[in-house]
Chain A
Amino acid sequence: MGDHGGRGWRWPVLRQVTGPDRLGLGSAAQSPASADLVPRTATADKVVKSICPYCAVGCGQNVFVRDGRITQIEGDPDSPISRGRLCPKGSATKQLVTNASRQIKVRYRRPHGTEWEDLALDEAMDMIAERVIATRRETWEDRDSKGRVLHRCMGIGSLGGATLDNEENYLMKKLYTALGAIQIENQARI
């Protein structure tokens, strides 16, 4: 009976005739789904503090996560720079990080190949390490013609960094420098 009665109370016509909304345009018309509606941010497991990855304004972002998935990304009102606001790119951040066109698996194109091929990540890492070591050996310069120290390899370059974290740039510069690779560049000049 309880179930039946509950349904009865939520039946629009009954609410229309018994509630304040005699025209049936307001609360009387509210569906169960509408009545139970809560913002999905309210049901997040956690809110993670983040920073927008697009330009260098550095807007604060709140990342809402439920069951290990991002359900919403929006401006962080606490940020003294952005005060909770985001531009269209910043507002599209959830789509950026969750959209289906993102690459999930390593893709490999062999020399002169006409198709992408699959390659395991471990194998790719091993192959890249081999390439680095070989090219480094091949293009190594110990000293110049006047006997001055060079300690470098001129066959390995790198491009990028302005979209990455400081910690990542740091490991890049540290590793490349130790390898003797100097043609290390990023968007600051592009």
Chain B
Amino acid sequence: MTSRVGFFTDTTLCIGCKACEVACKEWNHVPDDGLNFLGRSYDNTGELNADTWRHVAFIEQPALAPATGIKWLMSSDVCKHCTRAACLDVCPTGSLFRTEFGTVVVQEDICNGCGYCIPACPYGVIAKREPDGRVWKCTLCYDRLKGGMTPACAQACPTESIQFGPLDVLRGRAAERVSELHGQGVTEARLYGDDPNDGVEGAGAFFLLLDEPEVYGLPPDPVASTHRLSSMWRTAGTAGAAFALGLAAAFVGRRS
């Protein structure tokens, strides 16, 4: 496996332009998500789902004292590509898999639309596309990664709010950015999803936020439904290996 890659979305740099949403759709041929005036500030796509793989949230709130006026928070949300990815764990078909880049991808040539992954995701990211029937979500531009390219959203982002790279590099950079902001008096700056000890064992796409996660529509303490099943899966792995020996022998036998 090459080094694990991911996104660091620094929301302090986001100007809410939604280039990420469009660039994602253009590259991945994601259909439009319906023309619905939602009245949620400038957000009219609403949430991440099968037809929206990047979603920019807009939050209007009073400025923090002593400042007056208003703050307008913007944040581009995306699939977290969890270390402990419940969607992947529960997928019975092997459609969801972890790529050589450490990302979590739905393989549309395998997905049968069973939908087990949908309730498993603690972020509500993965969803079914009708009438297609299969589930869809951010692939972190798996094909682009294979070609050595940057994912479309990060490539387009005008202000480098969406940063792409090796996860360890991004985590280091994010920590520095938080210290820098704290030094500037932006004490509300905090990271979300960067902690390997959290309920998803650290996200591959993490964020620098200026308020509590729930303000942005993010679960404050996401837990993969399969988080505590890891020991069980280790057992399964051992059993699988034993089964494999017999199976391999069968194949060898058939080859002749």
Contacts and interface: CB of A to CB of B under 8 A. Distances in A.
B185 interface: no
A179 interface: no
A13 B250 CA distance: 13
Contact of B158 (A24, A29, A72, A85): A85
A92 B251 CA distance: 50
A75 B109 CA distance: 30
B88 A38 contact: no
Interface in A31-84: 31-34, 37-42, 72-75, 84
Given A14-B248, A39-B146, A87 B107 contact: no
Which bucket holds chain A's interface residue count? 35 or more
Given A22-B241, A24-B240, A33 B247 contact: no
Contacts of A24: 94, 240
Given A23-B236, A30-B107, A86-B158, 14 more contacts: A14-B251, A17-B241, A24-B240, A25-B88, A25-B89, A26-B100, A29-B98, A29-B107, A32-B109, A33-B107, A41-B149, A74-B27, A74-B156, A91-B23
Given A16-B244, A18-B244, A39-B147, A25 B156 contact: no
A72 B144 CA distance: 12
A157 interface: no
A180 interface: no
Interface stretch (B14-22, B121-129, B203-211): B14-22
A34 B149 contact: no
A87 to B, nearest CB: 5
B19 A72 contact: no
A25 to B, nearest CB: 5
A25 B155 contact: no
B243 A17 contact: yes
A147 interface: no
A159 B192 CA distance: 52
Interface of B: 1, 17-19, 21-23, 26-27, 88-89, 94-100, 105, 107-110, 141-144, 146-147, 149, 152, 155-158, 233, 236-237, 240-241, 243-245, 247-248, 251, 255
B240 A22 contact: yes
A26 B248 contact: no
Contact of B247 (A14, A25, A88, A89): A14
Contacts of B1: 26
A1 B156 contact: no
B27 A34 contact: no
Contacts of A27: 97, 100
A17 B155 contact: no
Contact of A85 (B21, B100, B156, B243): B156
13 contacts: A8-B255, A17-B241, A22-B241, A25-B89, A27-B100, A31-B109, A32-B109, A34-B99, A34-B107, A34-B109, A39-B143, A85-B158, A86-B156
Max chain A CB contacts within 10 Å: which of B22, B95, B99?
B22
A34 B157 CA distance: 26
Contact of B109 (A22, A33, A38): A33
Contact of A88 (B21, B105, B143): B21
Contacts of B97: 25-27, 29-30, 34
Nearest to A92: B22
A72 B248 CA distance: 44
A86 B143 CA distance: 20
Contact of A22 (B107, B152, B237): B237
B89 A87 contact: no
A88 B19 contact: yes
Contacts of A5: 255
A74 B241 contact: no
A77 B249 CA distance: 52
Nearest to B233: A23
